[in-house]
Structures are given as C-alpha cells and as structure tokens.
Structure 1
Amino acid sequence: MARTLAGDASARRGENESNSENGASDTSLPLRSLLTSVSNGLARSDGLMRRAIPGLAILFIIVLALFRAGELASSFTKTTDAAQTTLSLMASVVAQKLDASEGTLPETGYRTTLKRLLADSLPVGATSRSRTFLVADASGTVVATAPARPGLENLPVTDLLGPSQPLTVFGARAGVLSVAADLGGGKRDVKVLATVHHLDGRLGMIAVLQPENAIYEEWRNDLSANVTLFVGTSLVLLAVIYGFFSQATRAEHADEMYAATRARIDTALTHGRCGLFDWDLSRGRMFWSSSLYELLGREPKDDILSFADVADITHPDDIDLLGLAEHLLESGETLVDETFRMRHADGSWIWLRARGEIQTEPGSAEPHLIGICIDITEQHELAEQSRMADLRLRDAIETISEAFVLWNAKNELVICNSNYQSLHNLSSTAIRPGTPYKDVMAAASNAEVAPHPVNVAQRGGTSDDSYEARLKDGRWLQISERRTKDGGFVSVGTDITALKKHEEKLLDSEKRLKATVSDLQKSRQTLEFQARQLVEMADKYQEEKTRAEAANKAKSEFLANISHELRTPLNAIIGFSDIMTQEMFGPVGTDRYSDYCKDIYSSGTYLLNVINDILDMSKIEAGRMTIETEVLNAAEAAHDASRIVTGAATEKNIAVTADVAEDHFVHADKRALKQILLNLLANAVKFTPDNGTVKLSASKRGDKLRFEVTDTGIGISERDIKRLAQPFVQVENQFTKTHQGSGLGLAIARSLVELHGGSLTIKSEVKEGTTVSFTLPLADQVETA
C-alpha cells in the first residue's frame, strides 16, 4: 500500500519534472477522453436502444416465421415432386419388366405366375412407404397386387380409383395424379398419388398407388418440429422482451430514485457545508462528492482523483496523507478524525475536518476510507479570534498596576493578574481557574485580616462597592468590586498604605493643633454655642425639607401603587357589570337589578377615569412621564379629539367645531397631544350648558402654533383661575357641584404642555365662557417626507 501511494506521488512529481512522462500523460488524456465520449454516447443512446430492441425482436420473429414458412412450403413441393417422380419411375420400370416377361405367362392360370413376376420386377424398397402395385388385365380387372392385397383383386380399377377417372386417362401421358382411392374399406376416403402405365399383350395396365399420409409423414414431422421450435423461440423472445422491459422500467425508476436521492443528499451536503469522500487505500485513488468539489470552488466531475491530485491541494504542514495511510494499514485503526487545510480554487485556504471509518467490501480485501469533510473555516477563525481576544485580555490585565481578580457567581476564581498573585503570595496551583474563594484565601500567606467571600448581600445590596482592608503584613488595600452580568464579581485592589501613613501623620498633627488651640476654645465657647444653634437649625431645616420631599415622593408612589391596585378590580367590575347590563348569558330578572348594573358600570367607569388621571398625574410629578416628539398634522389631531367628545356634546345639544388649517404641523407626542385636546374639550363640554357651543382653533404665532378651546360655559372668576390648574383643585359653584370629576384634567394638560416646552393660559369671565390656549413648536411640512 505504501509503495502504491509513494509510486503515485513519485509519478505526480515526475509529471512536473520529466518531459517524457508529460508526453505519456498527454497520450493517456486522448484515450481517457475517447472512453469518456464512448461512455457518454452509450448513455445517450440507452433510451433509443430500449425502444428499438423490442421492435427488432418482433421483426426477427416475423422474418423467422416467413423464412421457415417458405422453407416448409419448398420442402412440401420437393416432397411432392420426389414422390411423383419416384412413382412414375417405378411404374415405368415395372411395366418394362412385365412387358419383357409377358411371353412366359401361361395361357391359363397365369395369375400366380404374374404375381411372382410382379414381385420379381419390383425394385428394392418399392413397397416401402405403403406403395401398392396393381396389375389389371385388358378388361381393367385387377389380377395381381404387390404387396399382396387379396381384397383388391378381381375388382375393376375404376372402382378403386373412381369412375371420374377413365382408364384412358391413366396413360403414359397422364403422369401422377392425386385421387381419392378405395384401398379395401369400401370407401374412397384415402388420398393417394397414383400413376398408370399401359402394358402390351394380355395385360392391360399397371397402376402404382401411394397414400399421401405416408408421403408427407416426414414433412409433417418436420413441420411439427419447426412449429414447436418457432413457438418456443417466440415465447422465449417475448419473455426476454418482457423481462427487458421490466428490468428497463425498474432500472429507470431506480435511476430516478437514485438521481432524486443523490440530489437531496447533494443539496443537504452543499447547504451543510460538507462533502463525502471514498479513499481506496490500496490503489491510492479517491472519490469526491459534488458538494466537496463545490466546497473547494472547483467544477464537479465524476473522475476518480489520484493520491497526488489530493496531496497537491492539501497543506503539507497540517497533514501527511501518505503517513496517515501507512499508519492506518499498519496499526489496524479504523476511525479517522483529522483537521487540515485545503486550497480553494481562488487560491485561499479553507479548514476542513475529516471524519471517516475504514470499510472493506465483502469478498474483497481492498480497504476503503469512507467519511465526510466539514467546512470549519468559520469556526476556526472564530476560535482564533477568541484565542487572540483572550491573549489581549490577559495582556491588558497584566498591564494593570493594581491587583485584579475575577470571580464567578459561585465565588470561584476565573482569572487574576500577577500583582494579585504576588500581593497574597499565591502559588501557581492556587490560582487555577475554578478554585473556590476559600481555598484561594487558605493558600494565601498574606490574606486579609477579616477574609470573606465576595457577596453582594454583604455589601449592602449594591452591585458596585468599595471598601478598605488591611493585610497581615500591615499593608492597606482599597478594594473596588463590581458585579458582572453573570452574577460574578470583578475586584480591583489598590495599595493605599502610603495614604494611610499620611493620614496617621495628619491625625497626629491635628492632635497637636488641638492642644495648641485649647486655650482659645474657652473664649470661643459662646460663638461655638451660637454656631451650634445655627447648625442645629440648619439641620432641622434640612431634615424637614428632606421629610417633606420624602412625603411628596411617598405620596406619588402611593398614588401610583394604589392606582395600579384599583384598576385591576375596577376592570373586572366594569366588565362584569357590562355583561350583566347587556344580559349576554340570559336575563337578570328584576328591572331594578338592571338599573343597579348600569349604575355599577357608570360608577366604575368614572372611578377608572379618575384613577387613570391620578396615575398620569403621579407619573408627571415623579418625573417618569416621557414624551417622544414627532411631526404631527394639527388638523388631524384636532378632528380626532373633537370627534371623540361629540357623543357627550350631542346629549347636551352642544355644537363642537374644529377650525384648524390642514397645512399646520407641530412637533409633539401624538398620545400627549391627543390627551391635552381631549381634556380641554371634555372640560368645555362638561361646564357648558345645553344648546351651547365649543370651538377648537389653531393659528401661527411666530415659530409656535397656538391652540384655543373656547366655550360658552359658566366661566371662572379671576381669583380662581390661578389655582384652577393645580392638581385636585375644583372651583365650587352651583353648576360644578352637579358634575363629578377628579380636578386633574387641566393640571395634566398644563403639565403635558410644559413637557413640550409650551405654556397653557386660561381666560374667562363668569357666565360668559372660557378660553383655554396653549402653544406647541411649529414644524415644516417638508419634514414629514
């Protein structure tokens, strides 16, 4: 095997160095091309042959039938001619002998002598094949027969051969005729060939008869044999044709299934970036699947690759194919898992992982290494990038002047630098990744005085903490810890021993200063007392301020929380009351129950709106309300808001109009602008008596767009306007007392306007109506494109 592969490799090198071997290679190329062309031509003509072979076989059967029929017809003619000739010759020979011997016949009782003479005159074998010789006297009566047929003697010849054949017909000129004769059965039912010759003297004639059955017996046997052979041959050919068609159909189906299966496998291998190979170790030849060719950017082909072809595109630093083959054959190993590079058609190198197993076909001792090659170039590049990133990370950690250590979520060591190792005098075995924190500290000869594992709960529940720790050798560290996303911690320790010593010196200096100024303290006690009082007052002020801010924050959080808690049951109350009102699952019963359900639904809806207003107000006060401005069409927003309040206005016969030009665009949050307009229009409708009007308009004011909501309602006094837009404030009078509300509508609208950088103003006169206006930044129509 090794010699085979080495010879193949040497031949490959010889092709690159020897002109004579190049000539031999050039000579083999035309032969290979010719064989390939012949193979392709046969493959292309396969369909034509499948259609032509049955026709040729049937044509052969027809020709054979015609040929044998012609031969049999010719044989029948020849048999008839031979029988007629034989009969005529025998009749002539016997007639001549009888004519010559007639003189020896006695006058009386000559029949016995005639019979003997007739028997002596017959040629050898004359009576074979059922031939009968009849001798008749001049009156036409049979007087002698050969072989002896007593039953035919003394009978007229015309009774035997038929009255339709006169005796004069049976002369020398008549030849041989086929007639129906009576050979002793009393019936002329035997077809015979008969010839008659006249004799001289007392003897009238001699007739020779031979049944046609005896004449054509051999021909009929030959006919039966030919028919049997022809039918058998035809049946065999038909069976062969049927088998051919069946096998051809099966082969075609098998080819289609093979092609479909191979296409599926090639598609799967191509999309999976892998390919199949079959390496004949005994011959050094290798087969590649088309997907493996495409993986290397080469044109797929069905030729078997030589060992040298594969070795030429394999990186020599990664794998030695010859050494691998020798090792597999010598060691007996069957499994292969190798990673190496192969040259792409564009000249680049791609990484492949080959996994295979040696297989031996039954009845053959030639081992084949069959397996799959997977493209791992991307994985290899990612691994290389990861390795380089790890190296850069380690270099970066090493360059840190502080002690650096990383722990995972289980308080196990991940990585540390040499400064951390030297700071705690740790051995290399103690800083292996995965070592628990306790084991690391146990191995440290210069640990913290109060060692503890990194635990965020012990750091006050924060993910970023910093503290000071003293080591056993007296040095001080400032340790900064930060929690990682996976639950671990990064710890950085800075040596602050010098700072601590400097701090101690400062403390000593402070003590000396205190001793120096002790005399002055008594004289300054009064001033210090006053200063303490001021400090206490300032502290109390700061405390009260902090308490007030905390109370306000607690209030906002409480409102937000209680709003969230109330909305869930309110949704259930509203939903179930609506179901009961609409009687979706059947009648409720008493009409009063239906009224109660409607009251529950309306009260729940009202309470939910109040809670939503409280929640929005609490978000605004807590600073959690954010807006996302975009270019909006003011006319669309105005029409949408006016359409929503139209239902409530219709109940009071209030006309709501929106007069906003279509070319007005603003920078605003879509939801916030809609809420502002709805709150202002709803307030206007609520506090406008029946048959009143509410108008929404907009006009440009420099780089702002001014919205105005004007109503003909009850109006507001001037002293109440300043506090009207504050949260939970309602101006009580005989009209508002009949209307429910949280008093947050104007407050929410003002806060949302201010979040947009605008302002809201209120102008009103009692019983004359109210005008609420606000401004928003203008936007150009071009910005909407």
Structure 2
Amino acid sequence: MARAFAGSASMRRLAQIRGQLLGQNGDRKSLTGHLRLLAEPTYQRLLRSEPFMRRLIPALCLVFIASLAVYRSLELYYDHQATERQARDEIALTATVISSHLASEETNLPELGYRSALQRVLADSLPAGATSNGRTILVADKDGTIVASAPLQPMLEGMQITDIFSASQPLTVFGARAGVLTVKAALLRSGVGEDTMATVHHLDGRLGMIAVLQPEEDIYADWHADVSANVTLFVGTASVLLVLIYAFFAQATRAEQADEMYAATRGRIDTALTHGRCGLFDWDLSRGRMFWSASLYELLGREPKDDILSFSEVNAIAHPDDVDLLALAEHLLQSGETMIDQMFRMRHQDGNWVWLRARGEIQREPGRSEPHLIGICIDVTEQHELAEQSRTADLRLRDAIETISEAFVLWNARNELVICNSNYQALHGLPANVIKPGTPYQDVMSAAANTQIAPQAMTVSQRDGTADGSYEVQLDDGRWLQISERRTKDGGFVSVGTDITALKRHEEKLMDSERKLKATITDLRKSRQTLEVQAQQLVELADKYAHEKTKAEEANKAKSEFLANISHELRTPLNAIIGFSDIMTQEMFGPLGGERYAEYSRDIHESGTHLLNVINDILDMSKIEAGRMSIAAEDINAAEAAADAARIITAAAAEKAITVSCDVAEDLTVRGDRRALKQILLNLLANAVKFTPESGMVALTAEQTDERIRFTIEDTGIGIAEADIERLAKPFVQVENQFTKSHKGSGLGLAIARSLIELHGGELEIASEVSKGTTVSFTLAASSTSVPAQAELL
C-alpha cells in the first residue's frame, strides 16, 4: 500500500508538472507580469535610491542622536526647574506651618524647661516629611541663639544662627516673610559651606525666628541620579547607533565592492562564454521556467532580457525532430537520472537552425524539493557541418574507390584493413566476412584465393619496408599484377593493384622488336649526330633572330617616342607661324604694303595649317602605337555624328563639286568615344573626297546588324588595286610614291582610322576597283553592348 501510494503521488506530481509545463503559455502573462510589476520596479527603484539612502541613513541616525540629546537635555532641565520649585515650595510651606503652630503655642510654654517644651512643640508642629531629604529646621530666640532643631541636633543648640550662614550673606537679607533663597550654609553636616536653600521667618514674642534649610545636594539627589541614568542610556544608545552606522557603511561598501566584483566577474564570464560560443541555462523542472545567460541569447541572435523564459517559449524554437523538452523533463523526473548530454537544433532569429550541445546536471537546493537542471549549451554547428561534410566526403570517396578499374586497398598503421573495393575482393577471391574494416592483414591474405608466386623487379617489400615503392607479381592463374604502395601520414599503407597481363605480353613482343631495332641503332646514331649539328645551327639562328627582333622592337619603340616628342616640339612654333600669318593675312594692324605679301601670308598660313595637320596625325599615330590613346565609351547618336562629319567635309567637297550624302537612321545609337568616332568618319570622308575626281559622289550610310552598327563610306574615286589594299592601312603608306603622287598628305589618315576602330573592338574593311570607286566600311558596338575591357583600359 505504501509503495502504491508513493507511486500514485509520483504520478500526480508528474501530471502536475506536465500541466504546468503545458499551461505555461497561459500563465506566462501573470508570471511575467507579476515579476515586472512587483519585483523589477522595486528592485530598480532600490538600485536608483541606494546611493541616496546610503547618505541619508547615517544623517538620519545622527539627527536622531542629536534630537534625543536635545530632548533629554530639555527634559532634564525642566525636571531640574520642577525639582527646584517643589523644594522651594516645600521649604516655604514647612516654615509657614511651623511658624504658625509655634506662634500659637508660644504662650503655653513654661519658663522652667523652656527648651525641652519648645523641642516637643516643634516636633509636634512638623508636617509629614518635613525633615526628609536632608531638610533641617532651626528655632532661635530673639538673641539669635538656636534653642531647638529638627531633626534633633544638640551640637547646634546654643550656637548663634548667624554662624551657620556665611558672612557674605547675613540674616539681614531675609525679611519678615522673605522667600526661599540659595545661600552658603555651614555646620549642617561637614562644617564646610555648601549651597543650601533656606528661608527664615521672624516671630513675635520670646522666639526670634525659624529657619528651614535644605542642602541642594539632597534636593537634586534624585535629579542627579536621573541625569546619570539618562547620560548612560544616551551614551549606550548613541554608541549602538554609531556601531550600526559603521556596520551599515562597512556592509554597503562591501556590497558595492561585491556588486562591482559580481559585475566584473559576470562580464568576464559573459565574454568568455561569448567567445567560446556557449551559454548557461537554469531550467526549473517543477515550474517549467528557464533562465538563459546573455551569451545564450547571443548564440541565437536574440536580444538579451532579464525575464524568465517559459517552457512554451523555449519549446517553440526547438526543433521537434531533435528533442522533446516535455518528454525529456518527464524522463528525468521518472528515471532519477541527473546528467544529460544531448545535441539538438534551435531556431536562430534570422530563421536558420543552430546546432547546440547541452550538458547539464540536476541540482536540488537544501531543504527544497524543486529540481533544477543547470548546465551549458555549446554551439556545435560548425562541428556538425564538418561531420556532415566528412560523411559526405567518405561516401564520395567510397564511390570513387569503387569506380576505379584497379584493385584498391587501404591498411592502417597496425596492418588492419580500412577499406577496399570490389575489384580487390574479386582479384583475391575474398569472402565478404573478411573485408570488414579492422581485419588484420594476415587474416585477409590467408583467406585469399590467389597468392603471390614470384615478385619481379621488387623495390620494396610489401609489409616490412618503410619506403614507398612498387613491384610486380604473378598470380596463380598466370596473370601479372603491378602493385604500387604509398605510406599514408598516419603510418598506414595504400595499395593499388593494376592488371598488367596485356602489358607483359606486349613487352615480350617488344623484346623481339628490340633485337630487330638494335641493328638500326648504329645508323640512327650517325643520323642523330648530323641532326645535333643542325639543331645547334638552328639554335644559333634562333638566338640571332631573337636578338634582331628585340633590336627591331626597340627601334620601333624609339621611333614612336621620337615621333611623339618631335611632333610635340614642332606644334609650338607652328602655332606661332599659323597665328602670325593669319594676323598678317587679315591685316589686323594695317596693310602689308603689297599684294604679294598678302599672297605669301596666305601660303604660309595654308602650309602651316597643312603641316600642323600632318603633325597631329603623326602625334595621334604615335600615341596609338605607344598605347597611350584612351577610349571614353559613351552612348552616341549615330545620325548626329555622321551629320557633323559630313557637314565639316562639305566645304572641301564643294571646291571639287563633289556631292556628299548622309543616310543614317535617327534611332541608331553607337557605343564608343565621341571624339574618336568623329575623327574616324572625318579621315575616311576626307580620303574619299581627296581621291574622287570633280563632280563625283561620296555617300555615308549606317545600318544595324545584330548588336553592331556598320558604317559605310562609298565614293566614285580613282579606286585601289587589289594588291595595294593589304598595305594601304599601314602607317605612312600611300599607293602613289612620293615622286608620282598627285595628292598631298601624310598617309596616316586611314591608319589612324583603322587603329581607332580596332580600339573600339571593330574591324575596317576596304573593297575597291580601279577607276570605279572604293567602299570602306567598319563596325562598332551598339549602345546595348559595351566596348571591350582592353579598349577602355588603354
């Protein structure tokens, strides 16, 4: 029964925990809300007010001590005043009562035994407590001699009452009904003058006066006792409060230092956990609540918070195929296990899955039964991916090994089988139970159907050597096998066996052929010597050719640089010649004085302009050859570029009555350098006009083919022979030589145009027939494409 009851209680407890875990989503608002509304605000206010309270509490304690001191001082002062008033009232009242009684009884006093009778009357007239607290009553006659006292003091009787008071305070200070005064009185106890409250009443008859005296020491005895008690209590209270203030300061300082140490330690731990890609967790299994460290939040890309996570929040981001948190909690509570080590996935904030390895132990606080699973989560995503990659690589390796045609086997450092393919198994006729990983080499070889008979050309033993090598063996069935072995980094061996039976048979045939070839070796040796001499001569010729080629390239480069430099130097004086000749032609500063001077100026201006154009062509050509011509590609309207070029060349064409036409569609857009395109069209049109007779025709057209624009310049000029077309576009080349040519020019226009077209990635084509005309065409990229990268980098 007890066991059954315990089992049912355990099941009820488990069901209760399960209900708490499953219902945590609904309770989250109440739990978190209470934590936020109660604990967190109070704690935050306490943290904010702690520095103020640490200064305020000692100040309040000191104010309390001062207030208590002032209060007790005032209270003692008022008690002192009250005690004094009470003593004065009692002394005055006592003196009045006694004097009245003695005045009424004086006539009844006998002559004989006067003092004794007076003493009895005095004793009878004393009110209750008249002689308490050191109070003394003296009765003197008219001569001032003390005749009676209370309490009875025989030593004072017969003395003059003036002897009791000091000389500075004679009895004359007391009137007939004087009040209570503070005087110096002596002979009452020690004979030394001390502060005393006293009053004196004068009587009529035989009695002279009645004096009532009470030392202040006796009056304030109780008050002094109260002062001592209050001082002792105040000093004790103040000491306790000062000790408490010191303890508070010490505790607050230690708490502050502990907070700083805790913050620093927590920062170091969080830094270590963050850099170590791990985080701490505390899972309250009985309530389903979980606490995460900041590093664990960072692992999952989430914002750290101080709230306690609910079971539903954690379960929502855990991968259901890897872990069931509810089942895990039930298992831990039922089985009594205290340790866990499990890998699972949790969802990152960006939606990806992060592999975590959780290792923890169940802890229970002393005196409480709530189990807490406390542990650490480590990010093992990279290790898991590496393991997956390793498994994938292993499968690929196995497939690759299986697909090779050779027999492949891998042994570890202990001569145990690691892996082999089916060709190795078939070659040796091994059963399936022998080729398992870990089988020793001797067991595999003892189960093989084919054994080695006669190793040939062995460079290293298969098992007892340490160097890499290969050898050939003949199997029992007559086949030849070439085995290549290489040592692995871990000390094992990898062996590859290739069937070389066909090669062996072919080798035998080659042996026969070798004997036949030996007869021809002598002849071949002589031929080889002859070939060696020829080869040496070819090497020398090749060296000379390379040397001459290098010299030619250097000369060509020097020429280009020279042309570029000399062209630049010639342009400066030409600018002055052209400018000054233009000024003289226009007679800006007055007439020249003769018509021939004007004609000479025009000739100088035209010649200078012609020379400048030639130099510009040379400079452009040298830039192109030197690789310093740059192309700035942009989208250009082909119709506008063609119209500009045709308009510029129209003036030169009009001098020869040549008709220049331009037929280009408006929607054609070419991709290239605007200045270079204009120069190409101008050079080609200028050549066409130059070599076209009077009243001829020059036509410029453009059309799009695929992703390129083709420009065509057609003229009715003198034409070009087919043999001259190939060399026509080379620099400084003209069909006519310098003695027979009838057209002036440098011969660079066509070469520059061709070079600029090639920089754009295009191609120049020339088709011509003598005496009928020439057609020059070239292609450039349309705007939808781009100029080649090498052209843009020049």
Question: TM-score range, shorter-chain basis?
Answer: 0.5 to 0.7
- Kept in 2, the 8 Å contact 1:313–1:343? The answer is yes
Please state if 1:79 is matched with 2:83. Answer: yes
Match of residue 484, structure 2, among 473, 481, 485 = 481
Alpha-carbon spacing, 1:120–1:189, altered in 2? closer, same or farther (3 Å): same
Alpha-carbon spacing, 1:273–1:104, altered in 2? closer, same or farther (3 Å): same
Which residue of structure 1 aligns with residue 739 of structure 2? none
| Larger deviation, residues 329-338 vs 84-93 | 329-338
Shift of 1:157: 2.1
RMSD: 4.4
Shift of 1:244: 1.5
Say which SS state the counterpart of residue 404 (structure 1) adopts. Answer: strand
Deviations 1:88-120 (A, max 9, x none): 111111111111212211234311111100000
| Larger deviation, residues 478-487 vs 64-73 | 478-487
Which residue of structure 2 aligns with residue 64 of structure 1? 68
Please state if 1:535 is matched with 2:520. Answer: yes
Shift of 1:166: 4.5
Letter in 1 for 2:486: R
Say which SS state the counterpart of residue 143 (structure 2) adopts. Answer: coil
Match of residue 265, structure 1, among 246, 266, 269 = 269
Alpha-carbon spacing, 1:455–1:125, altered in 2? closer, same or farther (3 Å): farther
Name the CA distance, whole Å, in 1 between partners of 2:261 and 2:238.
34
Alpha-carbon spacing, 1:532–1:451, altered in 2? closer, same or farther (3 Å): closer
Match of residue 389, structure 1, among 383, 393, 409 = 393
Name the CA distance, whole Å, in 1 between partners of 2:62 and 2:456.
101
Say which SS state the counterpart of residue 282 (structure 2) adopts. Answer: strand
Name the CA distance, whole Å, in 2 between partners of 1:47 and 1:450.
96
Which residue of structure 2 aligns with residue 35 of structure 1? 39
- Kept in 1, the 8 Å contact 2:480–2:504? The answer is no
> What is the aligned length?
534
Q: Which runs of 5+ in 2 are unaligned?
A: 1-9, 534-553, 555-561, 565-624, 627-792
Which residue of structure 2 aligns with residue 250 of structure 1? 254
Name the CA distance, whole Å, in 2 between partners of 1:128 and 1:316.
99
Shift of 1:74: 0.5
Alpha-carbon spacing, 1:192–1:546, altered in 2? closer, same or farther (3 Å): farther
Which residue of structure 2 aligns with residue 625 of structure 1? none
Deviations 1:729-752 (A, max 9, x none): xxxxxxxxxxxxxxxxxxxxxxxx
Name the CA distance, whole Å, in 2 between partners of 1:479 and 1:157.
154
Deviations 1:181-220 (A, max 9, x none): 1235684512211112222322222111111111000000
Name the CA distance, whole Å, in 1 between partners of 2:320 and 2:332.
19
Which residue of structure 2 aligns with residue 54 of structure 1? 58
- Kept in 2, the 8 Å contact 1:141–1:154? The answer is yes
- Kept in 2, the 8 Å contact 1:336–1:357? The answer is yes
Shift of 1:226: 0.5
- Kept in 1, the 8 Å contact 2:362–2:374? The answer is yes
Name the CA distance, whole Å, in 1 between partners of 2:466 and 2:526.
30
- Kept in 2, the 8 Å contact 1:406–1:489? The answer is yes
Name the CA distance, whole Å, in 2 between partners of 1:129 and 1:348.
98
Alpha-carbon spacing, 1:451–1:189, altered in 2? closer, same or farther (3 Å): farther
Please state if 1:192 is matched with 2:196. Answer: yes
Shift of 1:376: 0.6
Say which SS state the counterpart of residue 174 (structure 1) adopts. Answer: coil
| Larger deviation, residues 54-63 vs 395-404 | 395-404
Please state if 1:231 is matched with 2:238. Answer: no
Name the CA distance, whole Å, in 2 between partners of 1:430 and 1:400.
21
Shift of 1:236: 1.2
- Kept in 1, the 8 Å contact 2:360–2:375? The answer is yes
Letter in 1 for 2:66: I
Which residue of structure 2 aligns with residue 130 of structure 1? 134
- Kept in 1, the 8 Å contact 2:109–2:118? The answer is yes
Shift of 1:134: 0.9
Say which SS state the counterpart of residue 204 (structure 2) adopts. Answer: coil
Normalised by the length of structure 1, the TM-score is 0.60
Name the CA distance, whole Å, in 2 between partners of 1:306 and 1:27.
9
Shift of 1:129: 0.8
Alpha-carbon spacing, 1:397–1:122, altered in 2? closer, same or farther (3 Å): same
Name the CA distance, whole Å, in 2 between partners of 1:452 and 1:329.
71
Shift of 1:282: 4.1
Match of residue 369, structure 1, among 370, 373, 383 = 373
Name the CA distance, whole Å, in 2 between partners of 1:247 and 1:493.
82
Name the CA distance, whole Å, in 2 between partners of 1:455 and 1:292.
60
Say which SS state the counterpart of residue 222 (structure 2) adopts. Answer: helix
Deviations 1:319-356 (A, max 9, x none): 33344344444444333222122222222221111222
- Kept in 2, the 8 Å contact 1:298–1:345? The answer is yes
Which residue of structure 1 aligns with residue 449 of structure 2? 445
Correspondence 1:75-474 to 2 at 5 A = 75-171=79-175, 173-184=177-188, 187-408=191-412, 412-450=416-454, 456=460, 467=472, 470-473=474-477
Say which SS state the counterpart of residue 241 (structure 2) adopts. Answer: helix
Name the CA distance, whole Å, in 2 between partners of 1:533 and 1:82.
159
- Kept in 2, the 8 Å contact 1:2–1:322? The answer is no
- Kept in 1, the 8 Å contact 2:91–2:199? The answer is yes
Letter in 1 for 2:65: I
| Larger deviation, residues 285-294 vs 359-368 | 359-368
Deviations 1:574-612 (A, max 9, x none): xxxxxxxxxxxxxxxxxxxxxxxxxxxxxxxxxxxxxxx
Deviations 1:639-698 (A, max 9, x none): xxxxxxxxxxxxxxxxxxxxxx9x9xxxxxxxxxxxxxxxxxxxxxxxxxxxxxxxxxxx
Which residue of structure 2 aligns with residue 733 of structure 1? none
Alpha-carbon spacing, 1:214–1:306, altered in 2? closer, same or farther (3 Å): same
Alpha-carbon spacing, 1:86–1:131, altered in 2? closer, same or farther (3 Å): same
Shift of 1:65: 0.7
Correspondence 1:630-709 to 2 at 5 A = none
Name the CA distance, whole Å, in 2 between partners of 1:173 and 1:306.
94
- Kept in 1, the 8 Å contact 2:412–2:493? The answer is yes
